[in-house]
Structure 1
Amino acid sequence: MKISYTIKILQLKETFSIAYGNYETREALLIELSHLNCKGYGECVAIDYYQIDLKSFISRLKEIQPLLERQSVVHPEEFFRFLSGLDLHPFLISALDCAYWDLFGKLENKSFAELNSIPLENLAQSSITISVGSADEQIKKIEKSKWNKFKVKCKGLNKPDISRLLQLNRDLALDSNASFTDEDCVCLQENIEVQKFSYLEQPRPVDQYKILKKEGFANWMADEDCQNIDSLEELIPYYKSVNIKLMKCGGLTPALGMIAKAKELKYKIMIGCMTESTVGISAACLLAGLTDFADLDGANLISNDYASGNFVENGKIILSGKPGLGIVLK
């Protein structure tokens, strides 16, 4: 097995504004694993609030490249156990794990869904993100869009803006990216109108969630608070829903286990994404048959997508049915 890797610059179609800052581009690390004329692809992106440094990832890949290339082709679960022993960042493990699933499926001539018996009917429909902005700007974008579900970003709680959004009678979620105060959270979870939001995501900074009440009106959804399967038990009293992202948890292999555990614990589950190309989105789309929500608009937000595969069109997730993750570079 051979590995190659390169950094790509993802150009956003418009300034992406969230509580953490404003972004025009994202850096992505593309990984290619190849064997017997088949190529598998995985990706991770540099997210500043996760303190991701892709150059350090490349340095680490150079160190472990001989180990990786000596690996024989085994089942992806066994390959993931090998990766878990290398002391790698979850974002980097995710890119390697997804690339390996793509390669393995192509070698076996079977799709990831087929290999894991994932249902392909009634896929969750994806939301599209509405950046932080004035209520007028956000409402205009929602009303012009052909999508049916929207995740509205906000920075702090502006009650008049929330009231205007709730009057739209559209399928909306709210994502504060940890910008709500304790007082904001109490106000929201005690307001019956908040039930109109499909979920309210990551209201407080990491580990500051104990003001939240699961039995309140708000469907609180954990994002940064829910990093991996070990997070789930502790969050039970506070969150009704969890956002599972491949890069956070370390790829498709741990995501499958995390979804199963979250279902056991009666969480509502979303498969989410960062700003990614179709390489990353193709992998996440294949889990939508197992989740209640999807937020997989990452590739729709960029202007220079460099791959094809599974994709989202106006919220509808469209699977290619091709072997592996179905990824082809353009």
Structure 2
Amino acid sequence: MTSSKSTALVARIEQWPIAGSFTISRGAKTEAVTVVAEVSRGRHTGRGECVPYSRYGETPEATLAALLSMREPLRQGLDRQALQAAMPPGAARNALDCALLDLEAKTGGQRVWTLLGRPAPRACITAYTISLGSPEAMAAATVKAAHRPLLKIKLGGDGDGKRIAAVRKAAPDSDLIVDANEAWASDNLEQNLANCAEAGVTLVEQPLPAGQDQMLARIRRPLAVCADESVHDLKSLDGLRERYDAVNIKLDKTGGLTEALAMADAAHALGFEIMIGCMVATSLAMAPAMLLAPVARFVDLDGPLLLARDRDAGLRYDGSMVYPPDAALWG
């Protein structure tokens, strides 16, 4: 029998249909596959959700197995601080870290930001993603979203100049950020950046492949460039300052909110602008990232808006405004 002081863990894989499809330079998908961890102690249960990312060699099955391997350490008293060394950064640790934080908040009877000594999150504007497609298809999708103040445009290489021009024409008043998802190369980098600057884009995410981005330090960047695939956790910030102006912090990369908060503090001290990003997932995955919103220049937590449906007690979205989570959801 589990004692009242030990922690029990259950985990499962879930599928959430996407409204239509979600397309980036690496392909398209029609459902979000998430892994949920639930940790219980006494009468309290904490939850966390992650999205295994094949770009980093993660699968739902391996992520689930990694989580279940922590059952015995948790039963023996593994806490959130010890978890940081017990598991590597990545999706599995994210789900468990966030579940343990949720459990700490519930056990202590206080909101998680109070527990961590952080500012309470407030409602903020989130970006809304326009998937990669032909210029005509992207313009049509943008027209439907042109009322939103911040749009994130997925680009993918050849023809990106026409794509971003078409999007700008369709949304003349929206702020635009671009995510190239590593699809550009040294021979089109400067032209693509110039096309984005001409269209009034504010920020470009990860234009070159991670590990092949040295050219960014040798050119004049006409607009801010943000690291995504080139930055993961706190240690990966080293050496990025010459190449990037901003970093995209995602909990599935950092391995949870604990590391993400430390990373945000360090990134701010180094002079980076901060973007808070997400994978396509439910509100349970977005809720912990809301604690980073007060220090972020850009918030990109639109995952639930791209789903056919969200989980019960999900985050409140009012247009592009996203509100802090209720305790019934997380934290």
Q: TM-score, normalised by structure 1?
A: 0.89
Distance in 2 (alpha carbons) for counterparts of 1:122 and 1:110: 17
Distance in 1 (alpha carbons) for counterparts of 2:269 and 2:80: 23
Match of 2:106 in 1: 106
Corresponding position: 1:20 with 2:22: no
Corresponding position: 1:197 with 2:185: no
Distance in 2 (alpha carbons) for counterparts of 1:13 and 1:81: 38
Letter in 2 for 1:137: A
Offset at residue 48 of structure 1 (A): 2.1
Match of 2:126 in 1: 126
Corresponding position: 1:233 with 2:238: yes
Q: 2:52 aligns with which of 29, 46, 63?
A: 46
Q: Deviations over 1:45-71 (max 9, x none)?
A: 132222212222333333331111221
* CA pair 133-189 structure 1, distance change in 2 beyond 3 A: closer
Count of residue pairs brought into register by the alignment: 320
Distance in 1 (alpha carbons) for counterparts of 2:216 and 2:168: 21
Distance in 2 (alpha carbons) for counterparts of 1:62 and 1:249: 20
Distance in 1 (alpha carbons) for counterparts of 2:311 and 2:329: 18
- Structure 1 residues 182-193: aligned runs within 5 Å: 182-189=186-193, 193=197
Match of 1:75 in 2: none
Letter in 2 for 1:148: P
Is the 2:13–2:64 Cα contact (8 Å) retained in structure 1?
A: no
Q: 1:181 aligns with which of 180, 185, 192?
A: 185
3-state SS, counterpart of residue 234 of structure 1:
coil
Offset at residue 96 of structure 1 (A): 0.4
Offset at residue 156 of structure 1 (A): 0.4
Q: 2:281 aligns with which of 265, 276, 279?
A: 276
Offset at residue 108 of structure 1 (A): 1.2
Match of 2:39 in 1: 33
Offset at residue 311 of structure 1 (A): 4.0
3-state SS, counterpart of residue 182 of structure 1:
coil
Distance in 1 (alpha carbons) for counterparts of 2:21 and 2:186: 29
Match of 1:162 in 2: 164
3-state SS, counterpart of residue 86 of structure 2:
coil
Match of 2:3 in 1: none
Distance in 1 (alpha carbons) for counterparts of 2:330 and 2:32: 23
Match of 2:148 in 1: 147
Corresponding position: 1:223 with 2:228: yes
- Structure 1 residues 292-311: aligned runs within 5 Å: 292-311=297-316
Match of 1:76 in 2: none
3-state SS, counterpart of residue 232 of structure 2:
coil
Letter in 1 for 2:17: Q
Distance in 1 (alpha carbons) for counterparts of 2:269 and 2:123: 20
Offset at residue 193 of structure 1 (A): 3.1
Is the 1:279–1:308 Cα contact (8 Å) retained in structure 2?
A: no
Distance in 2 (alpha carbons) for counterparts of 1:55 and 1:274: 18
Deviates further, 186-195 or 103-112: 186-195
Over the matched positions of the two proteins, sequence identity in percent amounts to 27
CA root-mean-square deviation: 2.2
Offset at residue 323 of structure 1 (A): 7.8
Letter in 1 for 2:244: Y
Corresponding position: 1:59 with 2:65: yes
Offset at residue 25 of structure 1 (A): 1.4
Q: Deviations over 1:248-286 (max 9, x none)?
A: 011110111100011111111011100111110111122
Which ranges in structure 1 are unaligned for 5 or more consecutive residues?
Answer: 73-78
Which ranges in structure 2 are unaligned for 5 or more consecutive residues?
Answer: 1-6
Deviates further, 8-17 or 157-166: 157-166
